[in-house]
Amino acid sequence: MDRDWIGTARTLSEALPYLQRYAGAVVVIKFGGNAMGDDAAMAEFARDVVLIRQVGVNPIIVHGGGPMINDLLKKLGIESRFVRGKRVTDKATVEVVEMVLSGLVNKRIVQAINDQGGRAVGISGKDDDLMVCEPDDPELGFVGRPVHVDPEILVDLYRAGMIPVVAPVGTGVKDNETFNVNGDTAAGAIASALKADRLLLLTDVAGIKDETGEVVTQLHPDQVRAMIERGVIAGGMIPKAETALEALRNGVRAVVILDGRVPNACLLELFTDHGAGSLIRSTEPRVKPRTPRPAYRGK
């Protein structure tokens, strides 16, 4: 018998405790990075999401779309201005943001999931007042910080067998304004409101690295805070780490920052011993202790 088939059968058998562990669980997945711009990677992600739903897990997808927003702003001749590294989002810019996130990007992900046999439904944070926001910083304009999340529409969808795909656009507390919300922040707020079992933050790096550059596969919140203070966690990893800490404080059982470039990253994280990134949790044990895996280094 072909050794590959034997290995596949063994892998499926070893996944059983995890399939049992996550049956009925809510898993919020932030999808972004380079995988969004690659058709093959998008199809693979969609196939994994459909499989996750098929085995009884309730996935909720929250996506970004920064590169697509940049492309359309450039085509429309709308100049971007930045304050402390963050884009100032004026009225014209937020209209483009909503168009790209709620339209182009959201429906592309929905179509990819449906093409793989899933039942995806695209919504934004404005639908049914899912995500109500206040200005994150007056200097940034229409950049929002979620202050209230009502997940009822998401619960209704996944209980009906659907896979919700959420664009990170929110409604303002006053005057029904539209706010652009950071994708990681939106995913964390939604996971918190649902008290999700897992929040998976897909990115373009292997996970949180220590001073030597090695990926740390398991961390406690105190370790994360210390690494931020020492400057070990820096740059774009800081908001992801802070999102993870906030989600844990709000009742999410564990958060994983993982490399979305790794083939089948979500399946590896949920259904294998070694996982696919940096697991941050307070006390909850895994089915088995996590064993390290080699970091994906790309080409």
118 found inside a domain: yes
137 found inside a domain: yes
Domain that residue 84 falls in: 35-46+66-180
How many domains does the chain contain in total? 1
Instruction: State the DSSP H helix or E strand holding residue 82, giving kind and residue range, or none if neither.
Output: strand 82-83
Q: What is the CA radius of gyration of the chain?
A: 19
What does each C-alpha distance from 299 to 38, 209, 263 come to in angstroms?
15, 20, 14
268 found inside a domain: no
What does each C-alpha distance from 223 to 208, 220, 255, 294 come to in angstroms?
11, 5, 14, 22
92 found inside a domain: yes
What's phi and psi for 118, nearest 5 deg? -85, 175
pTM beyond 0.85, yes or no: yes
Tokens representing 95? 């209209």
73 found inside a domain: yes
290 found inside a domain: no
299 found inside a domain: no
111 found inside a domain: yes
Q: Identify which of 275, 222, 221 has the alpha carbon closest to the alpha carbon of residue 248.
A: 221
Three-state DSSP at 24 gives: coil
Whether the Cβ atoms of residue 29 and residue 120 lie closer than 8 Å to each other = no
Which CATH number covers residue 75? 3.40.1160.10
pLDDT tens per residue, the chain (299 residues)? Answer: 455 555 566 767 777 888 888 889 999 999 987 667 788 989 999 999 999 999 999 999 999 888 888 889 989 998 878 776 677 899 999 999 999 999 999 999 999 999 999 999 999 999 999 999 999 988 899 999 999 999 999 999 999 999 999 999 999 988 789 999 999 999 999 999 999 999 999 988 889 999 998 999 899 999 999 999 999 998 888 889 999 999 999 999 999 999 888 889 999 899 887 778 899 998 654 444 454 444 433 32
